[in-house]
Each structure stands twice: as structure tokens, then as C-alpha cells.
Structure 1
Amino acid sequence: MSELVQIRKMVLTVEEIRHEGGPAPERPILRAACLAVLKNPYAGRYVADITPLMEALKPLGLEMSQRLIAALGGDVAKIESYGKGSIIGTAGELEHGACWHVPGGYAMRELLGSAKAIVPSATKVGSAGARLDVALGHKDAAYVRSHFDAMEVGIHDAPRADEIVYCLVMTTGGRIHARVGGLQVSEIKGEDGLR
């Protein structure tokens, strides 16, 4: 990896959701988040061109996506939704989180193959222990209401003021007891990423 990408730690979390008070489904829904804590190369100063970081993060996006796929069983056909996010330490700025859009989003879409929908995103500036609700959406069609969800992520000691936490999330299904209608997974055409 580039000298711009100095990783202090990585965290992988997997949730297995069996029910939410209703009947247990045929199979549990799995949600996984992979987080990387990096030194922010632009912390404490304004830098006009921050795109070198965006380019340097591409291998990390692929590595984190591969870890998520493996954590969810290794079969990309079973992964249905995704999202991404970042928490920038207080010596950084919100725009440093935007450097994750391309390397995080495109890495997941590339490895998942058919993914057509935009990757939902959330970013904020925060202190160590800050939590982030990473928005989730169906990977092929943004209007699949059953997959509108979020996964809360965070790390107890990150980000420090001069760090960034970048996150990717994937799931094997939508909300476990979704029943409010809308476009169904079986109705996805996958032509434009919307329907």
C-alpha cells in the first residue's frame, strides 16, 4: 500500500440475526462490517488536492471487501445489500471522508459483480469511540424498501484526532421481518440501479 495509507488496526464484526420478536426465518440474516483505522495524512492542515489519498485507498477497499465476502460465507450470490462510511478525527475535515466514495464503493461493486445500485454512505467528524449509522441499501435496486436499513459501527479508541475510520458493510438480506410493501427482490430488473 501507499505511504499515504498507514493502518493502525482493522476490525471485523459479524451479526447473525435470527428474529426480531417475530417468527424465525428459514435462514438467519448476516450483517458484517469491516473498519480500518488509518493515520489521516491531511490532519491539521488544509490541502487543496486530496485525490492522491483516494487513489491510494483502492487496494484497501478491495481488501476490506474481500474480508466481508469471506465473513459472510464466501458466496457473492448471497450478498444482498451494502453501505459505506467514515468517521474523521477532529483534526481532519469532512471532505477527507469523501476520499472513500470511489475506493470503498467501487471495490464492493466490482467484487459483487452484478451490483448496480449506488452504495449508500454516511460520514462525520468525531472523537475516539464515536458511533456511525452506516446506511444500507439493496445492491441492485435502490428502491427495494425491505433493504432500507443501517448498521451502527464504531471502535472504542478510534478515531484519534489525526486518524480516519473507513468502513464497509455487507449483508445477506434485508430487515428480517420486512412487511411494508414496495419493490420486492423478486421484481428487480437491475437495469439502472433504481428498479
Structure 2
Amino acid sequence: MSDLVHIRKIVTIVEEIRHEGGPAPDRPIKRAACLAVIKNPYAGRYEPDITPLMAALEPLGLEMAQRLIDALGGDPKKVEGYGKGSIIGTAGELEHGACWHVPGGYAMRGLLGSAKAIVPSATKVGAPGARLDVALGHKDAAYVRSHFDAMEVGIHDAPRADEIVYCLVMTDGGRIHARVGGLQVHEIKGEDGLR
């Protein structure tokens, strides 16, 4: 990794959802999150140019995206949804989370291949143990209503004041009992990332 990226820990979480009170589906839906805790190189001061951190985070984004593909079975073609987020420690600023948009989002898109839809994102400043609801959407078409979801993530001892928690999430399906209409997965045209 770069001189700007010092990792304290990486956490991977996998949820296997078998039902939400209704009938069991043909297969469980899996959601996986990968969180990396890094030292914030800009903590405690205002830095006019924070873009070097974006390039420095690219290898971490690729590593985390690959960990998620592996956690969901190893086949990128089975991944249907994604999202990203960050929690910035209290000595940092919200904009430090924006440094994750390109290295996190493009890492997932690159490894998944066909991903055309915008990667939903959530960012906030928080203390150790802060939780974040990472918004999720279908990777190829943002209007696929069955994949509008979120995964709550957090780490009990992070972020410390001078740290950032960066997160990626992938799923191999939508909400387990989705039944409120909208664009269906089999109707995706894949032309513009919307439909």
C-alpha cells in the first residue's frame, strides 16, 4: 500500500438471509460487507488537496472488492447488488469519505464486469462503534426496486478520532420477499445504468 494508507484492520461480514417472516425462497440471499480501518492522513487539519488519497486507495478498493466476491462464492456473475460507504473519525471531515467514491466504486465495477448502475453511497463522521446504513442497489439498473436495500455495518473500536472506516457491500440478490412491483431483474436492458 501507499505511504498514505496504513491499515489497522479489515473486517468481512456475511449475512445469509433465509426468510423475513415469509416462505423460504429457493436459495438464501447473501449480503457481504468488507470494512477497512485506516489511519486518516489528513486528521486534525484542513488539507486543500486531498485527491492523492484517492489514488492511494485504489489497491485497497480492489482487495476489498475481491474479498466480497470470494465471500459470496467466488463468481462475480452471481453478484447482483452493491453499495459503499465510509465513517470518518471525529478529527477528520466528511470530505475525507468522498475520497472513497472512485477507488471503492470503480473497484467493484471493474471486477464485476457488467456493472453499469451508480454505486449507492453513505458517509458520515462518527466515533468508535458508529453504525452506518450502506444503501444498496442493483449493479446494472438503478430502477430495479427489488434491490433497494441497506446493510448496517460498523466496528466496535473504529473509527478512532484519527481513522477512517471504508466499506464495500455486495449482494447476490434483492430483498428476500420483494413484491412491490417495479422493473424486474429479467427486464433489465443494461443500456444506461437506469433500466
Distance 2:85 2:77 in 1: 23
What number of residue pairs does the alignment pair up?
Answer: 195
Residue in 2 aligned with 1:155?
155
Distance 2:22 2:47 in 1: 51
- Following superposition, the deviation at residue 150 of structure 1 comes to 0.1
* Structure 1 letter corresponding to 2:29: I
- Following superposition, the deviation at residue 4 of structure 1 comes to 0.3
Q: Percent identity?
A: 88
* Structure 2 letter corresponding to 1:19: H
- Following superposition, the deviation at residue 180 of structure 1 comes to 0.2
Residue in 2 aligned with 1:70?
70
Residue in 1 aligned with 2:169?
169
1:1-195 equivalence runs, <5 A: 1-195=1-195
* Structure 2 letter corresponding to 1:132: L
Structure 2: any 5+ residue segments left out of the alignment?
A: none
Q: 1:1-50 CA deviation, whole Å, 9 max, x = no partner?
A: 10100000000000000000101000000000000000000000000000
- Following superposition, the deviation at residue 77 of structure 1 comes to 1.0
TM-score (norm 1): 1.00
Distance 2:77 2:22 in 1: 26
Distance 1:15 1:118 in 2: 23
- Following superposition, the deviation at residue 78 of structure 1 comes to 0.8
Q: Which runs of 4+ in 1 moved over 2 A?
A: none
- Following superposition, the deviation at residue 69 of structure 1 comes to 0.2
TM-score (norm 2): 1.00
Q: 1:94-116 CA deviation, whole Å, 9 max, x = no partner?
A: 00000000000000000000000
- Following superposition, the deviation at residue 125 of structure 1 comes to 0.1
* Structure 1 letter corresponding to 2:179: R
Q: 1:107-155 CA deviation, whole Å, 9 max, x = no partner?
A: 0000000000000000000000000000000000000000000000000
* Structure 2 letter corresponding to 1:2: S
Distance 2:76 2:179 in 1: 25
* Structure 1 letter corresponding to 2:77: A
Structure 1: any 5+ residue segments left out of the alignment?
A: none
- Following superposition, the deviation at residue 174 of structure 1 comes to 0.4
Distance 2:171 2:5 in 1: 27
Distance 1:96 1:147 in 2: 28
* Structure 1 letter corresponding to 2:96: H
